[in-house]
Structure 1
């Protein structure tokens, strides 16, 4: 659900690569959903997708074929998370403050589950996975603060948004049984650890740069 607070609703900024195509797809799906489907049910479905993803990574200790469950989970997570707010707006039954609060609260837990489970799998260290989670949460915090203080709710950074992130994680999951769990050059880190460290570094850097730029702008405006 990508809703914003009712009072002085911020301007939504979404410039990710797949934004236009995804919006057309969501607009096509919304009128075709049964009348009994509600936004809250879709939010629950999105969270269920996160649980499925986490289960697949944990079960990969038993057999790498369980990683296929993760791929299905990402699709379920996208469907629920992308359509809950879209359906509410399509039917004009928005509850902006409630939706905003519930959506991002559930998203935070879902993200922690999915990325944390990657760190609990054979393919990535838990501490490295948490570095990526911290970077993601820092950038999310900046987004929520900016929505309040400058009236802009940014849904994408560097032409990437939640959908692109899911696709990246799905591609990484496909590569897991191919690349394996081997350590790179005796470093103690797998290839997936190094990838996550790079991603975490980018997220933290974006948080710092965006925070500094926003603080300077607010100071220049005397706010």
Structure 2
């Protein structure tokens, strides 16, 4: 990529989160670097996966998942913010590393949900496919349109993490619920619905972007 794409972020918490991140950036010691924060975000993703997987023995492990979400948010949100705050961005390296890690984090988090006793693996993988498809669209649009869209339906990664934390708390306090409609539980339906919304957004955004490019290149 020769030019940095314009970041478009219109999620509900964007302004509040930006103020918080700027405040945190101003208080980070010099030894804290963007690469170390990226590594911390990946550690948080592993914590999320481990907590979900270990919940097969006892739901208490879900507290590790919740802590992991907070660690993952801090590392993932702060790495790029700190680089921009200090004026030391590396556009190509940062873009490549950040979104490569995002892909691995997505597989760990949603795969972990599928490894828990609360959500079927096939349902979780369907949600992962929807999320990764929408991510692919965002990366392609950044290249061909110069716009990197970070939110859809007024929700971005932070809102999605809060939804997943709420889902995890429901797992913790409600426990494993008996399935209805065959083997499908309420948790399955929620995760499947999120996956369906993501897949529909991918199709819709692909059509919109395709039509836009067709007008520019008739």
Q: What is the Cα deviation at residue 181 of structure 1?
A: 2.3
Quote the offset at 1:171 in angstroms. Answer: 0.3
2:149 paired with 1:154: yes
Q: How far did residue 172 of structure 1 move?
A: 0.2
TM-score, length basis structure 2: 0.97
Aligned to 1:56: 51
Counterpart in the other structure of 2:31 = 36
CA contact (8 A) 2:48 2:109 kept: yes
Matches within 5 A, 1:1-223: 5=1, 7-222=2-217
Per-residue CA deviation, residues 161-214 of structure 1 (Å, 9 max, x unaligned), is: 000010000000000033332234342111111011111110000000000111
The list of structure 1 runs, each at least 4 consecutive aligned residues, that deviate by more than 3 angstroms after superposition, is none
Q: Offset of 1:108 from its aligned partner?
A: 0.6
State the number of aligned residues.
218
Aligned Cα RMSD in Å?
Answer: 1.0
Give unmatched runs, 5+ long, in structure 1: none
- State whether residues 179 and 185 of structure 2, in contact with CA within 8 Å, keep that contact through their aligned partners in structure 1: yes
Inter-partner Cα distance in structure 1 for 2:56 and 2:5? 44
